[in-house]
Amino acid sequence: MLLARLTQANGAPGQEDEVRDLIRAAIEPHVQIVKTDALGNLLAIKNPDAPGPKVMLAAHMDEVALMVVGIDGDGYLKFRPIGGVDPRVLVAKTVVVGRKKVPGVIGSKPIHLQRPEEREKAFTIREMVIDIGAKNREEAEKLVQLGEIAYFTTEYEELGENRVKAKALDDRVGCALLIRLLQEEVSFPLIAAFTVQEEVGLRGAGVAAYQVEPDLALVLEGTTASDVPGTDDHKQATALGEGPAISVMDRSVIPNPELVQELLALAAEKGIKVQVRRSTAGGTDAGQIQLSRAGVKVAVISVPCRYIHSPAAVMCKDDFEGAYQLVKHYLARLEERAGLS
């Protein structure tokens, strides 16, 4: 399955090569132009010279990860997060480090050695290390260099009824949707932007949008699902199984209200279950795309994912399918409106 291969690939911000190569191989038969820009964005274009609206679909390739910033005398690796990672979910997780994919485990002081006051608070990043089994610094330096990336080793696996768990669902769900949508036949120019460095400041999206100058853009994302124990209903941003989420606002963007309403109406017309994202936290590539050149109409369609930005997230395949159907029908509606179908 494509989504499984995408989540198993590794691609930290600025080091998306493995993911980009996988995507390029999947999309080349379905587009006329494929190129990689100086920042690393992968841009694919269908019907570059056709009339009609120029539509951009965007999904980011990068995932949260950990960077090695030091090696101590005993061979333990010190690290810092790249992107928003909660330190409380890291202890005892397995990782692979660097191009050699050296196996390791994130370690900390064991509970039976902690003082009573230490047991009352979570470990900080500075109190954890990655143990790769090295005896000393010299042995560790033969395997790992400073600046290399540690990735979680979670494998893609199906759970329960139509659900999956994997690492990097944010935003490999968007990448998988975009690859699938590129296989659809459209008559107008369709630009797929697989962007870089979203997790560290939405950096790739603005560069991509500046190049292609879209008339409108849809950002395809994995977003936080808060339907977990201890969270009041009114505080749940999204819930699994309730369909893709359409954003009305987050800290980076206020999507075009008319476009949002059009998507909601289209979902109702086609019988596609959707939900409105009930949180303004976080940000997406839409925030940078919207500001490109003279401005771009944007909307954000997200697949809810529990435990996002952690070693393992969970999503519902029905929500994924709903997002695909909604965008597919929207592209068809644009063809009708432009008189191209």
> What positions carry a catalytic annotation?
198
Q: What are phi and psi of 337, to 5 degrees?
A: -65, -35
Cβ(191)–Cβ(59) below 8 Å: no
**Residues 331, 167: Cα–Cα separation, whole Å:** 30
Distances (CA, A) of 30 to 46, 62, 83, 180, 186: 8, 23, 32, 10, 11
What's the first-to-final CA gap in the chain, in angstroms? 31
**Residues 129, 78: Cα–Cα separation, whole Å:** 5
**Residues 272, 51: Cα–Cα separation, whole Å:** 29
Of residues 196, 204, 127, 166, the one with CA closest to residue 320: 166
Q: What are phi and psi of 210, to 5 degrees?
A: -60, -35
- Return the axis-axis angle of helices 17-27 and 169-181, rounded to nearest 10°: 20
**Residues 76, 69: Cα–Cα separation, whole Å:** 11
For 51, counting Cβ atoms within 10 Å of its Cβ (0-12 exposed, 13-18 middle, 19+ buried), the class is: exposed
Output DSSP code: residue 58: E
At CA 136, angle to CA 130 and CA 140, rounded to 5?
Answer: 55
315 Cβ contact partners less than 8 Å away, ≥ 6 residues apart:
163, 164, 169, 173, 222, 225, 240, 303, 304, 305, 306
**Residues 338, 313: Cα–Cα separation, whole Å:** 40
